[in-house]
Amino acid sequence: MLLQELFSSEIGLLSVFTIGFVIVMAIFLPVYFSKKINEDVQNDRK
């Protein structure tokens, strides 16, 4: 019942997409910044 309402209503779908987006950003940003920091450290050593 709850899952049906979550995936069938507009606000439910918006909530699912928002939660998914936040999770993807929580994974992407640390990985991206870690790579950039490592590149900067490598460039400073040269």
Q: Tens digit of pLDDT for each residue in 1-46?
A: 899 999 999 999 999 999 999 999 999 999 999 999 999 999 988 7
Backbone φ and ψ for 9, nearest 5 degrees, come out as: -95, 155
Q: Which residues contact 6 (CB under 8 A, 6 or more apart)?
A: 12, 13, 15, 16
- 22 neighbors 12 (Cβ within 8 angstroms): no
In a domain, 13, yes or no: no
Task: Indicate the number of domains in the chain.
Answer: 1
In a domain, 4, yes or no: no
Q: Give the C-alpha separation, 38 to 5, whole Å.
A: 45
pTM: 0.75
Q: Give the C-alpha separation, 9 to 30, whole Å.
A: 33
In a domain, 42, yes or no: yes
Range of the domain at 36: 22-46
In a domain, 37, yes or no: yes
In a domain, 3, yes or no: no
In a domain, 46, yes or no: yes
